[in-house]
Structure 1
Amino acid sequence: MSTPAHQIITASPPQAAHFIDGRYVCATGALFENRNPATGALVSLVPEADESQVDDAVRAARRALSGPWGRMSEQERAALLRKVADGIMRRFDDFLRAEILDTGKPKSLAAHLDIPRGAANFNVFADQIMAVATESFRMATPNGGQALNYAIRVPRGVIAVISPWNLPLLLMTWKVAPALACGNTVVVKPSEETPTTAMLLGEVMNEAGIPPGVYNVVQGFGPSSAGEFLTRHPGVNGITFTGETRTGTAIMKAAAEGVRPVSFELGGKNAALVFADCDLEAAVQGTLRSAFANCGQVCLGTERVYVQRPIFEAFVARLKRAAEGLKCGDPFDASTTLGPLISQEHRRKVLSYYERARAEGAEIVTGGGIADMSSPFASGSWIEPTIWTGLPEESVVNREEIFGPCCHIRPFDEEDEAVAAANDSPYGLAAAIWTQDVRRAHRVASRVEVGIAWVNSWFLRDLRTPFGGSKQSGIGREGGVHGLEFYTELRNVCVQL
C-alpha cells in the first residue's frame, strides 16, 4: 500500500514507513515505537521490514540500474542531485522538526549543522563527480603499432547504506550522495532510533525526478531484522556503515559471503592534546564543543584530554565552569545548548560508566548523574555533562568508547608523553591539538595515529578531504574523490590504433 508522506506523519498514531521503488509502503507486520528522547513521548510507530520487504527493496534497486538511471550521463545525475539538495532546503522546517523529534538534539545544533549539511552533501558530490579524472596511456604494440589505454569509472551496483542515529540525515546523505553521483542505487537502513528523515527524503527524491528504485528505505533493527537481511542479501554489491566497531565486525563477516567490499566509519576514543603555549580560552571552548556537543554523541568527540602541567589546573577550572553553563531544556528553544541522550537504554549504558569511574576512584570535577528536569522533560533521557580527573590510563573509562557528554583530563609534561598516551588506544579516528607553536603542530599531527588531526579547531571539515579512521576506527575513506573510490570500479579500456 502506498501513502503520501504527509498522511503517514499526521496519522493517529503517527506512522513511519518504508520507501520502496518510489512508493511509501506502510506496515504489513510488526511495529515498534519511536520515542522522543527529550520527553519520552511517542513520535511514531515504525514498521519492521521482514525479509521479503528487504528483498523487494533490493530487487527494485537492481531493476533501476538497468533503467533510465543507468543510461544517464554524469551531467544528468549531477543536475538531479542538485534538485535533491534544493528540495531538502525547501522543506527545511519539515526535516528540522523530524530530526529534533527523533534525536532530541537542540535546534541550535540541528538547524546549523544537520539539515544544511544533509543538503550540502548532494551539491558537493554533484561537483565532485564532474571534476574527477582518470588516467590514459599510449603504448607500443608488438606489431609496431600503437594502442591507447584509458580508465573509466563504472558504478559498483546496489549499495547497502547502514546509517547511525547521532547525525541521521547528515551521515546518511554523506553516503547516499556519492553513491548516487557514481550511478549506483541504494537501499538505506536507518537506525531504528531515528527513522523519519530517511523516509522523508524519499518524497524529495520523487519531486526531484530521481527514478523509482534508485533510493529505497527499509526500517527495522540489526540482528535478525532488516539490517542483517540487507547485509546478507546476495543482490547487494557493497556495504557502507557508520556505527559501533562491534557491529562493523558482524557486517564484515556477512560481507565476506560473496566477497562484497565494505566502507566503515567506526568507533573512537579520541584525544585532545593541550600544550602550555596554546590559546587557553580557545582550547577550553574547543574542548567544550568536542566533549559535549550533541550530548557527547559524536564519533569524533573527545573523551580523553591531555593537558600540559603548567596550565592543567587553570584548564580544568575553566572547562568545569563552561560545562556547568550548558543549558538543558526544550530542544525547540534556541537558547538550549545541551539535549538528551538518544534513549533510556543508552543512558543506562553511559550511567554505568559514570558509576565505573566513581568505583575506580575518579575525582568528579562536575556532573556524574542524571540531570534534574521538570515536566514535560522529566521522562526524557537527560544526563549531566561530566568531567573526571585522577584515573589511570588502563581504566575502563579511559579505554572504552562511552559516547556520552563526558571526558577525563590528565596532566602531562613532555610532548612524547602526550603523543604516546594519545596513541595508546585500539581506536584511531580523530585528535585535536592545541598549540601556537607551528612546528609542534605539524610534528604532532604527523605522529598521532588517527584519520583526522585538527590543530586549534574541532569539527572543521572541508568535504573535499579524506575522512575516516585508522586501526579499529574504520576501513576506507569518505569525502572528495576518496569518497568516489568505494562507489565505483575502474575499468581499463584498451584500443589498438
Structure 2
Amino acid sequence: MTIKTRTSGYADPSLHAQGLYIGGKWEKGSGIAVVDPSSGDSLADVPDASVEDALRAVDAAEAAASGWRATAPRQRSEILRRWFQLMSEHAEELATLISLENGKALSDACGEVAYAAEFFRWYAEEATRLPGEYRHTPSGSHQILVDHEPIGISLLITPWNFPAAMATRKIGPALAAGCTVILKPASETPLTAYAMARLGEEAGVPPGVVNVLTTTSPGPVTSAVLADPRVRKLSFTGSTGVGRLLLAEAAKTVVSCSMELGGNAPFLVFDDADLEAALDGAMVAKMRNAGEACTAANRFYVQAGIHDAFVAGLTERMAALKIGAGYDPETQCGPMITPKAVEKINRLVGDAIALGARATTGGAPLPGSGYFYPPTVLENVPVDAAIASEEIFGPVAPIYRFETEGEAIRLANNTDYGLAAYVYSQDLGRAMRVGSRIDSGMLGINRGLMSDPAAPFGGVKQSGIGREGGVTGIQEFVEAKYYAVEF
C-alpha cells in the first residue's frame, strides 16, 4: 500500500497547506517543510508567520471577541457539538493525516482522533453549565453575587505528539467559555491544526474566533503576542524548559497561565500484582504513541519477587511489536518525530548501558530511512543514570528493582516532575496508600491509561500549573466577578 492511495479528502496534506488562518481567511505563504518521519520525505509546505502576522491574528481575535462573548451558551454549544460530529465523520482521514506528519501508528492515531473529538462534545455540554453563586454575607450587610466572565483573547501553544487532542483540549473550553483564540501548533505537525480549523469553519465557528498560525520563530512571535495587552491567557503544553521561559514572558504583562509540562512517570509493580495485568498496563503506559507522551511510564520500579518475571514478560512483548511507517495498518510502533529525538534516546540508552544496564531487546537505532528506534527494555539500570531523571519520550523501558514499599515511594518521588504515576497491586488498600504518598497530579491504579476528557489533566511540581479537561478545564478560561449587592 502506498501513501498516495490513502490521502483523499482530509487525509491529503496539500489540502491543509493553504496558508495561515486569520480572521476566517486563508493567507498564502511558505517556509516550513512538513516531513514524514517514516521516510524523511516532504509532505507539504506551510507558511512561516512573522510577528506582524501574529499581531494581525490578535486583531482578528479582538474583532470577533465581543460578538462571540455575547453569543448564547446554547449556540456556542451547538457549534462545538457540530465540530465533534464532523471530526467523527472524518475520523479515518484525520487519523491518516496524523500518522503521515507525526509518524504514530494508525491505531494510535485513530485513538487520538476519538479522544480529541470528545473534548468538543464534553465542552459543548459544559458551555451551558457554567455555575454562578448567590449568598448572604455572614454580617448580613449585603448579598454576594458571583458571575464568571470569559477571560479574554487566549494564546494556545500545542506540541507535536498529539496534534489533534492538544488542540481540542484547549480550544473546546476556551470557546465554551466565550473566548477567542490564537492557536500556534508545533511546526513539525501543523497540518492537523489547519485541518481542525477547516472543520471548525464548516461547523459554524465565526471568523476570527479561531486563528491558526505556524512559525519557525516561536520566541519573537510568542513574546509579541503576550506583550499585547489585549491577550489575557496563555495555555501551553510542552517542555518544562520552554514553560519556564513562557512564564517569565507572561509575567511582564501578568497574563494568566495554564502549563502542562514535562513528566517522569514512575510505574510501580508490587509482588502481589497480577503479572499479566501489569504487563498489559505497562505496554499501554509505555508504548502509547511509541512512548512519545508526557504521561508515558518513564521508570519501572518492580518489587524483587516479581522482577525477573516482569522483565521477561515485557521483553517478549516489546520484541514482538511490528515497527514500520505509521500509516501502515499493521504497524504497532512508528518512527520518532525527528532525527534529534532518536539521538536523545540513543544517548540515554548508551549512558545507562555504560553504567551497567543491559538491553534485553532493542538498544540501538535502526538503519535505513526514517527516524526509527526499536522498542527497548533495559534491566539493572542504575538509579543515577541520566535516563532515570530525564524524560525519555521514546519506546524505552528502564526497569529498576526495589524491596520495600517505602523504598518504592522514595524512588518514585525522586524527581522534579509530578505529572502521572502508576501503581499495580491486588491490594487496593496498599495501592491507594502508596498513591496518596506519590507526588503526582494523576494516578493510574491497575490501569495503564488515565487520560479522559471528563477528568482533570495536569501535574504538580515542575510538571505544570492548572488543569485541562473535566469540569475544571473551563475554569481556566473564565474569571470570577463579584458583585456586592444592596437590597
What's the TM-score once normalised by structure 2's chain length? 0.94
Aligned length: 479
Deviations 1:249-291 (A, max 9, x none): 1111110111011101111111011001111011012112212
Give the match for residue 353 of structure 2: 358
Question: Unpaired segments of 5 or more residues in structure 2?
Answer: 1-8
Cα deviation, residue 9, structure 1: 4.5
Letter in 1 for 2:104: K
Is the CA contact (8 Å cut-off) linking 1:8 and 1:16 kept in structure 2? no
Give the match for residue 186 of structure 1: 181
Tell me how far apart the structure 1 counterparts of residues 37 and 12 of structure 2 sit (CA, whole Å): 21
Tell me how far apart the structure 1 counterparts of residues 388 and 135 of structure 2 sit (CA, whole Å): 52
Cα deviation, residue 139, structure 1: 4.2
Deviations 1:396-420 (A, max 9, x none): 1111112111121111111111011
Tell me how far apart the structure 1 counterparts of residues 307 and 433 of structure 2 sit (CA, whole Å): 22
What's the TM-score once normalised by structure 1's chain length? 0.92
Give the match for residue 310 of structure 1: 305
Q: Per the alignment, in what secondary structure is the counterpart of residue 391 of structure 2?
A: coil
Give the match for residue 375 of structure 1: none
Letter in 2 for 1:368: G
Cα deviation, residue 118, structure 1: 1.6
Deviations 1:159-191 (A, max 9, x none): 100000101101111011001000000000000
Q: Per the alignment, in what secondary structure is the counterpart of residue 310 of structure 1?
A: helix
Deviations 1:3-47 (A, max 9, x none): xx9899447xx83521100111111xx602110011111111121
Letter in 2 for 1:77: R
Q: Per the alignment, in what secondary structure is the counterpart of residue 231 of structure 2?
A: coil
Q: Per the alignment, in what secondary structure is the counterpart of residue 211 of structure 1?
A: coil
Tell me how far apart the structure 2 counterparts of residues 273 and 9 of structure 1 sit (CA, whole Å): 41
**Change in CA separation of 1:334 and 1:223 when aligned onto 2, cut-off 3 Å:** closer
Tell me how far apart the structure 2 counterparts of residues 268 and 222 of structure 1 sit (CA, whole Å): 25
**Change in CA separation of 1:355 and 1:222 when aligned onto 2, cut-off 3 Å:** farther
Q: Per the alignment, in what secondary structure is the counterpart of residue 168 of structure 1?
A: coil
Cα deviation, residue 478, structure 1: 1.5
Cα deviation, residue 123, structure 1: 0.7
Correspondence for 2:293 among 275, 298, 313? 298
Tell me how far apart the structure 2 counterparts of residues 365 and 228 of structure 1 sit (CA, whole Å): 46
Tell me how far apart the structure 1 counterparts of residues 228 and 486 of structure 2 sit (CA, whole Å): 40
Is the CA contact (8 Å cut-off) linking 1:95 and 1:197 kept in structure 2? yes
Give the match for residue 269 of structure 2: 274
1:346 aligns with 2:346: no
Is the CA contact (8 Å cut-off) linking 2:10 and 2:195 kept in structure 1? no
Correspondence for 2:233 among 238, 259, 265? 238
Q: Let me know the Cα RMSD of the aligned residues.
A: 1.9
Letter in 2 for 1:174: R
Tell me how far apart the structure 2 counterparts of residues 63 and 416 of structure 1 sit (CA, whole Å): 57
Is the CA contact (8 Å cut-off) linking 1:31 and 1:46 kept in structure 2? yes
Tell me how far apart the structure 2 counterparts of residues 319 and 44 of structure 1 sit (CA, whole Å): 38
Give the match for residue 396 of structure 2: 406
Give the match for residue 60 of structure 2: 60
Cα deviation, residue 228, structure 1: 4.0
Give the match for residue 454 of structure 1: 444
Question: Unpaired segments of 5 or more residues in structure 1?
Answer: 373-377
Tell me how far apart the structure 2 counterparts of residues 417 and 221 of structure 1 sit (CA, whole Å): 45
Q: Per the alignment, in what secondary structure is the counterpart of residue 52 of structure 2?
A: helix
Tell me how far apart the structure 1 counterparts of residues 38 and 317 of structure 2 sit (CA, whole Å): 22
Deviations 1:84-141 (A, max 9, x none): 1112122223322221111011111111x21112211011012123234232113488
1:106 aligns with 2:108: no
Cα deviation, residue 480, structure 1: 1.8
Tell me how far apart the structure 1 counterparts of residues 219 and 298 of structure 2 sit (CA, whole Å): 32
Letter in 1 for 2:112: D
Matches for 1:319-468 after TM superposition, within 5 Å: 319-372=314-367, 378-468=368-458
Paired-residue identity, %: 35
**Change in CA separation of 1:115 and 1:6 when aligned onto 2, cut-off 3 Å:** closer
Tell me how far apart the structure 2 counterparts of residues 361 and 453 of structure 1 sit (CA, whole Å): 31
1:161 aligns with 2:156: yes
**Change in CA separation of 1:402 and 1:139 when aligned onto 2, cut-off 3 Å:** closer
Give the match for residue 201 of structure 1: 196
Give the match for residue 88 of structure 1: 87
